[in-house]
Amino acid sequence: MNTLSDLISARLAQLKSWRREFHHYAESGWLEFRTATRVADELHKLGYQLQLGREVIDADARMGLPSETVLKQQEARALQQGALPQWISHFSGGFCGIVATLETGRPGPVIGFRVDMDALDLNESQAEDHLPQREGFASCNPGMMHACGHDGHTTIGLGLASVLMAMKDQLSGTIKIIFQPAEEGVRGARAMVAAGVVDDVDLFTAIHLGTGVPAGELVCGSDSFLATTKLDVNFTGVGAHAGGRPEEGRNALLAAAQATLALHGLTQHSGGVARVNVGVLQAGTGRNVVPDCALLKVETRGVTNQVNDDIYQQALRVIAGAAAMYGVEHQVTLMGAARSCTPTQPWVDFIHQQAEALGVFDSVVDRKAQAAGSEDATYMMERVKQRGGQASYAIFGCDLAAGHHNAKFDFDEQVMPVAIAMLATLALNQAQFGGDQ
């Protein structure tokens, strides 16, 4: 019988090839058409039961969806780049989610893993000292780049699927691997939760690589993500001749500017860390016209859901107040959201204990110190916990060529087999989990 490490070693070339293919055909959030068809096809060939597209994504719970035109253009682009036509209809219109299930037929809990598939809206570096460029697998899609390692996550998900199928006689319970679109901008997970994809999951683990964790280290239960809400605000005023009839105008630019200054004064909360940022302010049409339109792109964050919700509610009041001051209309659109991250300690302890026993890490820790950004797998964690399940967020440390979201981001591919070994170990040994380690 092959050991886990033999099975992984036999797949190293495949892992590298998958990762470099996903990296080359980088696709931004909700546009993962090529990637999703390739993932579905590989999982199907492995023998997994698949749920695809609308079965795993609630249309109305999607946030920050690109326009109809962009969705159509990018689907056509994906087909030209080798997206598999036999799978594309499932994902058409921005439904690029996949859940692969393996029912072992033996009693046991449902163990779930979540990986994400989207790239960032970023141009990849074409410098010769950037390894993906030098080795010919840098992104071929302008303005889209895997600069956060989700190409690695997708590959880890497929590698895990492949290894677990090869060991299926040693597994019990049910294995579920969730491939999520649109994590960037925290837009996709809520729609998968709304479709019920984690409603039967007892033991849940989401993953990330890198994030400043040193190579060789495993963080078993990261809790450093902030709850967040992303909103677009459109102010609509009335244009008028700025010299001749200014009193007839309603100034949307001033409302947006007033709102911006007030929003940045909102970060006091006794509950802990709170943040507000207005990252974009666009307004007006011409020098001699009272501006009749303005757009703000705003985010709030908080160390707990409560802190974020309080700051968000205050932000809505500030925005409405600024609009009233200048007599303009305003509309708020929710573009993304994530919850705060609180893993369940028994599952963190189990991951910790299994990682020590596996012996492939230099260092195994429960959590990392510094606060990070936000992550929408927290919606899945929250849902699993509401049902009494266990949930955690694991981070696999690795060497990075540059920071996340940087045009020269790249990660050491050796992290992929290590992550697969760890996640496969959790699936193989889940029967040992008693909840009281």
Residues of this chain that bind Zn ion (CB under 5 A): 148
3-class SS of residue 394: strand
Q: Where are the alpha helices (DSSP H) in 66-139?
A: 68-80, 85-91, 131-134
User: Can you name the residues that pair with 44 across neighbouring β-strands?
Assistant: none
Considering the complex, what minimum distance in angstroms separates the CB of residue 9 from Zn ion? Answer: 27
Structure tokens at 115: 């990986």
The amino acid present at 5, given as its one-letter code, is S
405 is in an annotated binding site: yes
Q: Closer to Zn ion at the Cβ: 78 or 148?
A: 148
Q: Closer to Zn ion at the Cβ: 153 or 330?
A: 153
Considering the complex, what minimum distance in angstroms separates the CB of residue 397 from Zn ion? Answer: 14
Q: Closer to Zn ion at the Cβ: 148 or 283?
A: 148
Q: Closer to Zn ion at the Cβ: 148 or 253?
A: 148
Q: What angle do CA 13, 162, 429 make, to 5 degrees?
A: 120
148 is in an annotated binding site: yes
3-class SS of residue 299: strand
83-108 burial, b if ≥16 CB within 10 A, otherwise e? beeebbebbebbbbbbbbbbebeeeb
Considering the complex, what minimum distance in angstroms separates the CB of residue 148 from Zn ion? Answer: 3
* Strands of 265-358, DSSP E: 274-283, 293-302, 329-338
What is the H or E stretch that residue 180 is in? strand 174-180
Considering the complex, what minimum distance in angstroms separates the CB of residue 375 from Zn ion? Answer: 7
Considering the complex, what minimum distance in angstroms separates the CB of residue 338 from Zn ion? Answer: 12
Q: Closer to Zn ion at the Cβ: 148 or 259?
A: 148
What is the H or E stretch that residue 113 is in? strand 110-116
Neighbours of 197 (CB within 10 A): 26
Q: Closer to Zn ion at the Cβ: 95 or 411?
A: 411
Taking CB atoms, the residue at the shortest distance from Zn ion is 148
Considering the complex, what minimum distance in angstroms separates the CB of residue 150 from Zn ion? Answer: 6
Whole-angstrom Cα distance, residue 60 to residue 64?
11
Q: Closer to Zn ion at the Cβ: 130 or 208?
A: 208
- Under 8 Å CB-to-CB from 177, ≥6 apart: which residues? 43, 48, 99, 100, 112, 113, 115, 157, 160, 161
Q: Kindly state the greatest CA–CA separation across the chain.
A: 87
Neighbours of 299 (CB within 10 A): 23
Structure tokens at 169: 């006689």
150 is in an annotated binding site: yes
Give the strand order in the sheet containing 293-302. 274-283, 293-302, 227-236, 329-338
3-class SS of residue 251: coil
Considering the complex, what minimum distance in angstroms separates the CB of residue 391 from Zn ion? Answer: 18
Q: Closer to Zn ion at the Cβ: 154 or 162?
A: 154
Considering the complex, what minimum distance in angstroms separates the CB of residue 404 from Zn ion? Answer: 7
Known binding-site positions = 148, 150, 184, 208, 405
Question: Binding site for Mn(2+): which residues?
Answer: 148, 150, 184, 208, 405
